[in-house]
Amino acid sequence: MSSHLSSPRRWRRAALAVLAGGALAAALLQPSTPAAGDDPPPYQDPSLPTAERVADLLGRMTLAEKIGQMTQAERVDIDADPSLITTNRLGSVLSGGGSVPAGNTPEAWADMVDRYQEAALATPLGIPLIYGVDSVHGHGNLQGATVFPHNIGLGATRDPALVQTIGHITAEETRASGPQWVFAPCICVARDDRWGRTYESFGETPALVTKMETAIDGLQGAPGHLADPDRVLATAKHFAGDGLTSYDESAAGTGAYPIDQGIDRVTRAEFDALALAPYIPAIKEHHVGSVMPSFSSTDFNGGDTTDAVKMHANQELLTGWLKQEQGFEGFVISDWRAIRQLPGTYAEQVEASVNAGVDMFMEPIQAPNNPTGWDEFIPTLTQLVDDGDVSMARIDDAVSRILTAKFELGLFEHPMVDRTHLADVGSKAHHAVARRAAAESQVLLRNQKHALPLAAKRDVYVAGSNADNIGNQAGGWTLTWQGGSTNVIPGTTILDGIRKAAKGDVVYSATASKKVPRKSVGVVVVGETPYAEGFGDVGGPQWAYDPGDHGVPRPEQTMKLSSADTSAVQKVCARTVSCTVLVVSGRPMVIPPALLRQTDALVASWLPGSEGAGVADVLYGRRPFTGRLPVSWPRSVAQEPINVGDAGYDPLFAYGFGLRTR
């Protein structure tokens, strides 16, 4: 207040003037909730340009309504009382991996999302909810959805058109069951196969990953089609450098993640080339609607890690590079409670991430796992705005981005689930595409004596831990977050496919304990058990992820064959006319030289998903082998990280390698 106001009377007059002015301003700016009978306000007029509708709506919103739009809860937090969406003005809800409605049917999902939507529409401005889910290889959470090969197998296909078709089917099955937004595709470039998320990557080169970004087109459709009942908003993740983290030997075996969510110890030039590059076409060519930052950090200066910067607080990259330089107009969604890994108090974490450019906050409580989540986020951000630590301009930018997506998804006109395609979930036609994708993803690495394709008339002996396990061939993010060997989904195992294709006798014995009939050909399907994120790190945690059952051991991931699988290969390959080994895994596995010499044929099968019959199609020559390695196949774990272009590059099988039949 200036010094010329000396007398008390003047102070009072001045104070009253300020108060009156403030009240007038408040009255003018008072968010005006449209009253029944009024002409619909502009934001409810679909004939107007989206930008006009956003501006009109924004001008009507209170700070509480704005911050509510920036807040995402998990379904467990509100399912018992959806009115929490109404009272807290929540803008979004997600299903974490395995968080499903009772019954887990397409109808139950649609009913659930509609129930939450009704709560959102009960708010004064009736801003619809957006529901997000990890449809990373089909709507994997949903029992009955078509489950496709994970990205590493899709990278092996080198077939962008197929990947676009898979994206479209995924969008159709997801949107029909309610969610309008998927946290996919991961456009991570996997550089060290010890990383538990290698299977979520299309491959080790930005060129291959970029080629497969047609997944975004399949999910979103052409610009202007987001409101269609068979399209969803896509998410490019995890921005950036999630696959470039370095392995921390000291963390192996301690229960921590040795590489997932770690530090990118690369130069800025390497980061630009390997981590940022895929985001340019994702934004400019494929118009991806949202971006999720990585848990990881960057440390461009090498040496100690005191200057490592968490991606969720990296303003130069989130706002400077992504939004300003690349012109990204979508919104940034934080990863699962990721801001709580930032330094400082929760208020400092919120302030840093909001000001860095994160727009919506995945802050689940998901009781009993965490004491607070979004219910702490809302008052914390409110206080930061009141204190001037977060500007209203930043809030308005975030909310405008979120509202733009909701308008473009058609949620204001059609907020309830459009169930047109509900009956197509898991259809034969969709499974036929899954089968073709499984076939095209197979990479033939060795084929001595033309062991493949198999002659249908031959008797066949099948063994190995992954020959008849649809949970193992589907991998993580299937029915549950981590996936599971006992997770059963509709489809066919590799053994089912062999039984259908073979005309001779089929003997199956996972451990090859049964007698091997003379003149049989042998097929041994080895590999990994399912995992997700850091639990898949080599040397990662072996306890169950849910604090409620820490006591439940999880299989250790080593990139090496189990002793049971090794023994099965040795037994079968010693007694059969020809011996084919298939590796069902989320990444390359070490095949020791002596074991390799015992095999006639070796196939990288990756995680083929729900249609193991597609694997049998190439084994029996119904389709040719056309796949090529999306990642280098190491001779040993000690070679990791190993990538094409490395000095002294000497893998067992090189990036891009793949034998063809026919």
Q: Report the residue from 53, 69, 75, 134 that binds ligand GLC according to the rule CB under 6 A.
A: 134
Q: Tell me which of 533, 600, 611, 617 is the catalytic residue.
A: 533
Q: Which residues have a Cβ under 8 Å from the Cβ of 7 and sit 6 or more positions away?
A: none
Cβ closer to ligand GLC: 294 or 493? 294
Q: What is the total count of residues that contact ligand GLC (CB under 6 A)?
A: 8
Q: Which is nearer to ligand GLC, 361 or 620 (CB)?
A: 361
- Comparing CB distances to ligand GLC, the nearer of 168 and 237 is 237
- Look up residue 461 and give its amino acid: Y
Is residue 602 within 8 A of residue 581, CB to CB? The reply is yes
* Minimum distance, C-beta of residue 556 to ligand GLC, in the bound complex (Å): 21
- Please list, in sequence order, all residues whose beta carbon lies within 8 angstroms of the beta carbon of residue 320, skipping any fewer than 6 positions away: none
Contact 194, 640 (CB under 8 A): yes
Is the separation of the CB atoms in 606 and 466 below 8 Å?
A: no
Judged on CB neighbours under 10 Å (0-12, 13-18, 19+), 44 is: middle
Q: Which is nearer to ligand GLC, 336 or 606 (CB)?
A: 336
- Core vs surface per residue 394-425: b (16+ CB within 10 A) or e: bbbbbbbbbbbbbbbbbbbeebebbbebbebb
Q: Indicate whether 528 belongs to the interface with ligand GLC (CB under 6 A).
A: no
Q: Of 68, 82, 91, 96, which one interacts with ligand GLC (CB under 6 A)?
A: 96
Helix (H) or strand (E) run with residue 310 in it: strand 309-310
Kindly tell me which of 159 and 242 has the beta carbon lying closer to ligand GLC. Answer: 242
DSSP state of 602: E
97 vs 78, 100, 265, CA distance in Å? Answer: 16, 8, 30
- 439-498 binders of ligand GLC (CB under 6 A): none
Provide the token pair at 57: 């709506």
State the nearest-atom distance from the C-beta of 187 to ligand GLC, in Å. Answer: 12
Answer for which of 191, 237, 430, 431 binds ligand GLC (CB under 6 A) is: 237
Work out how close the CB of 203 gets to ligand GLC at its nearest, in angstroms, rounded to a whole number: 18
Per CB under 6 A, does 611 bind ligand GLC? no
Q: Are 93 and 373 in contact (CB under 8 A)?
A: no
3-state class (DSSP) for residue 581: strand
Q: Is residue 600 part of the contact set for ligand GLC (CB under 6 A)? A: no
CB 624 within 8 A of CB 618: yes
Catalytic residue check, 335? yes
Beta-strand (E) ranges in 393-488? Answer: 443-447, 460-463
Least CB distance to ligand GLC at residue 525 (A) = 28
56 has catalytic annotation:
no
CB of 355 to ligand GLC, least distance (A): 22
Q: How far apart are CA 523 and CA 605, in angstroms?
A: 13
Compute CA distances 300 → 191, 192, 265, 270, 454, whole Å. Answer: 17, 18, 6, 9, 51
Closest separation between CB of residue 292 and ligand GLC, Å?
6
Q: Which is nearer to ligand GLC, 295 or 655 (CB)?
A: 295
- Give dist(CA 554, CA 564) in Å, integer: 17
Choice from 172, 192, 228, 335 touching ligand GLC (CB under 6 A): 335
Kindly tell me which of 237 and 446 has the beta carbon lying closer to ligand GLC.
237
Closest C-alpha among 310, 375, 299 to residue 349: 310
Q: Write down the least CB distance from residue 242 to ligand GLC, Å.
A: 8
- Restricting to residues 154-213, which ones interact with ligand GLC according to CB under 6 A? 183
Q: If binding is defined by CB under 6 A, does position 312 make contact with ligand GLC?
A: no
260 contributes a contact to ligand GLC by CB under 6 A: no
| Shortest separation between residue 379's beta carbon and ligand GLC, angstroms | 24
138 touching ligand GLC, by CB under 6 A:
no
Q: Applying CB under 6 A, which of residues 131, 336, 531, 545 lies at the interface with ligand GLC?
A: 336
Between 202 and 336, CB nearer to ligand GLC = 336
Collect all residues with Cβ–Cβ distance below 8 Å to 606 and sequence separation of at least 6: 149, 150, 152, 153, 156, 199, 441, 443, 584, 585, 586
Specify the residue for token string 């909701």: 406
Which secondary structure element, helix H or strand E, spans residue 523, and what is its range? strand 521-527
What 3-state DSSP class applies to 20? helix
- Among residues 82, 91, 97, 410, which is the contact residue for ligand GLC, using CB under 6 A? 97
Candidates 134, 172, 228, 335; catalytic one: 335
DSSP structure class, residue 492:
B
What is the distance between the alpha carbons of residues 79 and 76, in angstroms, rounded to a whole number? 5
Shortest gap between Cβ of 128 and ligand GLC (angstroms)?
Answer: 21
Q: Which of 151, 163, 217, 157 is nearest to 189 (CA)?
A: 151
Measured at CB, which residue is nearest to ligand GLC?
A: 183
Q: Which is nearer to ligand GLC, 341 or 427 (CB)?
A: 341
Task: Answer yes or no whether residue 655 interacts with ligand GLC by CB under 6 A.
Answer: no
Do residues 128 and 114 touch, judged by C-beta distance below 8 A?
no
Closest CB to ligand GLC among 134 and 299?
A: 134
Phi-psi region of 125 (alpha: psi -120 to 50; beta: other; left: phi over 0): alpha
439 vs 433: CA distance, rounded Å: 10
Beta carbon of residue 532, minimum distance to ligand GLC (angstroms, whole number)? 8
363 binds ligand GLC (CB under 6 A): no
Verify binding: residue 77, ligand GLC, rule CB under 6 A: no
139 forms part of the interface with ligand GLC (CB under 6 A): no
Give dist(CA 122, CA 33) in Å, integer.
12
User: Binding to ligand GLC by residue 541, rule CB under 6 A?
Assistant: no
- Closest contact distance (angstroms) between CB of 531 and ligand GLC is 13
Give the shortest CB-437-to-ligand GLC separation in angstroms: 21
Handedness of CA 469, 475, 481, 482 (dihedral sign): positive
Residue 537 binds ligand GLC, judged by CB under 6 A: no
Supply φ then ψ for residue 72, to 5 degrees: -120, 125
Q: Which is nearer to ligand GLC, 288 or 582 (CB)?
A: 288
Q: Between 66 and 139, name the residue whose CB sits nearer to ligand GLC.
A: 139
Binding mask 379-418 for ligand GLC (x = CB under 6 A): ----------------------------------------
- Which sequence positions are flagged as catalytic? 335, 533
Where on the chain is the footprint of ligand GLC (CB under 6 A)?
Answer: 96-97, 134, 183, 237, 335-336, 533
